[in-house]
A and B are shown apart, each in its own frame.
Chain A
């Protein structure tokens, strides 16, 4: 731990420093590549794997099944609806999950009974989930409305709080970056997109902005305190702030990701924990990407947005000129 504290000290004083702002070309290139990969992944995989909540359909989960013979399920479904498309997955020791395409509510209830008989369980041990096709689109529509309103509100509030809309703009771009990459990883994992996953994505938006605000607040503090005779250029001040909050960023992302990772690992092995698992995958990826994106995309982008402002340009020029003079004096000596 001592070395980690030392690491924090060095970052704070600037003795050790990662050039997040200065090397932004490199970071932006990496970010662009990640975004492109994230967009290509779902395209190459033939779209997202939407859950029945979005496509419509019926899902049955049987716990404590006497047998895990998959054909029993297909036969039980075919008994009621001969031409239904059935997908059967065995979960854990004695869990069976059956998904079918769109059925009527009545058929779904009938199949519950035939499945219970086939696997030797009570009707009450069969979980059914029947979803009409419009349910998912309703949820999506509302989520998107919520998203847009949230983004507009946060843009305004952040602009007011930081006294510059450029921070808001940088934060929103960071957010978009987080969302795209998280979706890309989600698509690559092949997990189904369920309402639970959507909850996860929405939370990630909140987390990403939260993380950005914490780091940007330090940037505000540093650049605000820089007086006329500051020895640092604007970009250097921004970079110092990011470095000074780096230990916090690492600690926070670890602490936030640990409980989520616990859900992810445990939820994957148990029937019925899908809600938790879907939320946690999007959260786990999102937390890590949000921390990355704030540091490597948000902060450099903010410096880029501001560096051409006349006042900042003037100050930077003065700092650099002074540095140059100092060098020459040194050379003359």
Chain B
């Protein structure tokens, strides 16, 4: 700072900085709106906009953690799946190391929901047996009786070691009984966690067919692409039938070639291979030709929709980890906007109450508070709008709560500052020097207290999840803006106001009236009793004060004429 800098100069400089910052932020936002797809209205989170939020938790067998890499991979797969269902602007994010949050605008239909949550591993297994889904038989009494659950004594080890995945010797008596007793409705998806190298019992996902399937031959991860399209004849003419085109990677192609060469021409149902997702058979096409180039085509009774759904399942079906639906939250758009409205209305009412109270307490000085709040509000709005555009920040209900709470925190900075100025005035300083001296003391307090606040916000933001984060974020942003506004707006304004006659003369309405503040210079925190006080009271308090004086003070007091009395701190 140059030696010639005066409070006025500093104040003008600070205010120009403020103008520059506001202008720059505004320019960024306007530029963003014109060219970058930003909006003037801050982006809203689901609880205000309406929509569905599904939180998925990674299922891990033991306490081992899911690696961030796996989680990121899962996020990108789920994002693709959701987007594939035609949902725009779905947000898929990780949360807290093992959760994935899927936020979908609007109401998620069952289909979308299934796409998101059917996070199972996809695999190809050869069909060994296919049959009716019934698990009952007509007993000797003529009544339908469910097959009994397999007995533990029934052998579950194959008698001869199977030569390939389609070998009948996989079907042990135990498996046979399990197959008979299997209830497609109740036990659906139960085979999801079965070991890959063992046969399973599974049902078609609509529950119409029951299968015994051999061990996994090709894993879903080896599918490099899948798409729905019109089937073509060898000449290239379209068949008018919807098909699903499949493409395997190197390993997959080889494995699939082996499977198809074994299955093609085999006796039904052993010429079928089942595509198993989440323990359910989503499709069990017949192998009609040996596929050696890794490019297969599944045809059947597909509509456009079903073929697309199957293609998506094949493409995005293989997730590295299993997920369960931890929580799901659907908020209607009407309720969302109602919540936003409530938030805004209460915020305004709160603001109004604060304005009334500050004016009551600080008279015209209260307007400095109000203007400071307005500046803080403008800065906060700009920052949130820009963050919504650049960083995808979305304002949630908790975030709005953070903003409303921030009103109190922000005004406190001004209160601390004004009270310090008043203290300095009480000490008998002139307004200009009171503003400077008060600022020095107040700034230290404000910095340290706001530092603690910011620390709280940062710790919460880094460690917490979901709602808490949105709240911590707005709290942190407003704390920084609050300090900025005090430093480059409120203090400079007071520096300038201290120059005006209205304030420096201590007009009763200024809120900084030294007379009302009872100020006469006596040294820090030592005062002459106000003249208006009763004589008797002065006498008694001077006596009291004399009692409290140290010898040095008494001597000093005696040396100075005994006219005025020192009124020291008094215990009650």
Contact = CB atoms under 8 A, between A and B. Distances in A.
A209 interface: yes
Interface in A267-308: 267, 270-273, 275-276, 279-280, 283, 287
Contacts of B549: 231, 326
Contacts of A125: 332, 334
Given A196-B467, A213-B452, A263-B404, A1 B398 contact: no
B408 A217 contact: no
A203 B475 contact: yes
Contacts of B405: 203, 256, 259-260, 279, 283
A19 interface: yes
A142 interface: yes
B4 interface: no
B84 interface: no
Given A217-B445, A272-B335, A142 B546 contact: no
A54 to B, nearest CB: 11
Given A105-B328, A132-B324, A279-B398, A19 B96 contact: no
A20 to B, nearest CB: 11
B325 A130 contact: yes
A236 B153 CA distance: 87
A272 B339 contact: yes
A199 B328 contact: no
B23 interface: no
Interface in B36-67: 47, 50, 55, 57
A73 B341 CA distance: 28
B546 A287 contact: no
Chain A CB within 10 A, most for which of B412, B416, B475: B412
A17 B572 contact: yes
Interface stretch (B281-289, B356-364, B499-507): B356-364
B547 A255 contact: no
B571 A17 contact: yes
Contact of A231 (B422, B444, B455, B553): B553
A256 B357 CA distance: 11
A255 B328 contact: no
Contacts of B541: 15
B401 A275 contact: yes
Contact of B407 (A126, A142, A158, A259): A259
B448 A213 contact: yes
A68 interface: no
B155 to A, nearest CB: 36
A161 B448 contact: yes
Contacts, number: 310
Given A15-B570, A276-B401, A259 B415 contact: no
Interface stretch (B203-211, B243-251, B342-350): B342-350
Contacts of B409: 207, 210, 256
B465 interface: yes
Given A149-B463, A251-B415, A255-B354, A214 B408 contact: no
Interface string A154-183: 100110010000000000000000000000
Contact of B333 (A124, A132, A157, A244): A124
Contact of A259 (B339, B347, B467): B347
B456 A229 contact: no
B468 interface: yes
Given A126-B330, A146-B460, A150-B459, A263 B449 contact: no
Contact of A63 (B335, B342, B397): B335
Interface in A115-156: 123-132, 134-135, 138-139, 142-143, 145-146, 149-150, 153-154
A205 B426 contact: no
A66 interface: no
A231 B526 CA distance: 11
Interface stretch (B119-127, B219-227, B292-300, B516-524): B516-524
Interface string B437-464: 0000100110011111101110110111
Nearest to A136: B327
B468 A202 contact: yes
B516 A2 contact: yes
A149 B415 CA distance: 30
Given A12-B423, A157-B451, A330-B546, A218 B357 contact: no
A240 B117 contact: no
A63 B552 CA distance: 78
A24 interface: no
A129 B423 contact: no
Interface string A215-233: 0011001000100010110
A184 interface: no
A266 B346 CA distance: 7
Given A128-B328, A214-B445, A206 B361 contact: no
A259 B453 contact: no
B540 interface: no
Interface string A1-36: 110111011001111111100100000000000000
A18 B330 CA distance: 54
B459 A146 contact: yes
B477 interface: no
B550 A1 contact: no
A221 B567 CA distance: 21
A87 interface: no
A262 interface: yes
Chain A CB within 10 A, most for which of B50, B408, B422: B408
A90 interface: no
Contacts of B401: 196, 199, 263, 275-276, 279-280
B328 A322 contact: no
Interface of A: 1-2, 4-6, 8-9, 12-19, 22, 53, 61, 63-64, 105, 108-109, 112, 123-132, 134-135, 138-139, 142-143, 145-146, 149-150, 153-154, 157-158, 161, 195-196, 198-199, 202-203, 205-207, 209-210, 213-214, 217-218, 221, 225, 229, 231-232, 236, 240, 244-245, 247-248, 251-252, 254-263, 266-267, 270-273, 275-276, 279-280, 283, 287, 319, 322-323, 325-327, 330
Given A150-B456, A247-B419, 16 more contacts: A6-B516, A17-B570, A112-B330, A130-B328, A138-B96, A139-B468, A195-B468, A202-B468, A225-B524, A248-B415, A256-B408, A259-B347, A259-B353, A266-B346, A272-B342, A276-B400
19 contacts: A13-B525, A14-B569, A63-B334, A64-B334, A108-B328, A127-B335, A150-B459, A195-B468, A203-B471, A206-B456, A217-B444, A236-B571, A254-B357, A260-B405, A262-B404, A272-B339, A276-B343, A326-B547, A326-B548
Interface of B: 47, 50, 55, 57, 96, 99, 106-107, 110, 113, 117, 324-335, 338-339, 342-343, 345-347, 349-351, 353-354, 357-358, 360-361, 363, 397-398, 400-402, 404-405, 407-409, 411-412, 415-416, 419, 422-423, 426, 441, 444-445, 448-453, 455-457, 459-460, 462-468, 471, 475, 516-518, 524-527, 541, 546-554, 567-572
The 6 closest A-B pairs by CB, nearest first: A259-B350, A256-B408, A14-B569, A206-B456, A146-B463, A258-B353
